[in-house]
Amino acid sequence: MNGTTTLAVLHDVGLAAWFGGAWMGAVGLNGATIEVDDHTQRTRVANAGWFRWAPIAGAALLAQVSSAYALGRLVPAPAGRRQGSTGIRRLRTVMTLAAMVSTAETGISGQRVVRGGDVPVATATTPIAATPPDVAAAQRRLRVAQWLVPGFTGAIVVLEAIQRQQGPGAAVGDDR
């Protein structure tokens, strides 16, 4: 495998893990906390899962972003690029930045929930009347951000598929 192929694999696997992990976490992990009988332990269960996933998520984000950057420097721009490719590349960059900010927000809000301790909640991201106000506010932010991450990373997947239709070299890493 040559260097460009290795970078493309890192990019695609990183993006897949970033997207898939965020989606599974929002749907599966956070959603499943309603099954925990003790409502003061629901955030503890979700947090334990997220703490185990965090190193993989960080590595996935780093692999995707750094390999996209490297590929953008190594892969020459295709001759006769179709109209709209520059706009798609820019939109992809905006979606990547938005996904990074949303990912950071899930971490920040998640830490605020953790600092609240074992408090009563409906789910990992849904407060109840007995939830302390600071934890409830963090949960509401987390409830939104958890869906933004797979939304933005999914948009990146779609934009890259569109670029691949535009010909060789037009997709992965063509972010000059």
pLDDT tens-digit profile, the chain (176 residues)? 788 899 999 999 999 999 999 999 999 999 999 999 999 999 999 999 999 999 999 999 999 999 988 988 887 655 555 555 678 888 999 999 999 999 999 999 999 999 999 999 999 999 999 999 999 999 999 999 999 999 999 999 999 999 888 765 555 554 43
Amino acid 103: pLDDT: 97
| CA dist., res. 30 & res. 94, Å (int) | 27
DSSP state of 45: H
| pLDDT in the model for residue 41 | 97
What pLDDT is recorded for position 72?
80
Helices (H), 116-175: 133-164
pTM: 0.87
Q: At what angle do helices 42-74 and 3-24 cross, to 10 degrees?
A: 160
Tokens of 45: 């269960």
Confidence at residue 166, expressed as pLDDT on a 0 to 100 scale:
78
Q: What is the pLDDT of residue 77?
A: 57
Token duo for residue 143? 């409830």
At 37, list the tokens.
């009988």
> So what's the pLDDT on residue 176?
38
DSSP state letter for 119: -
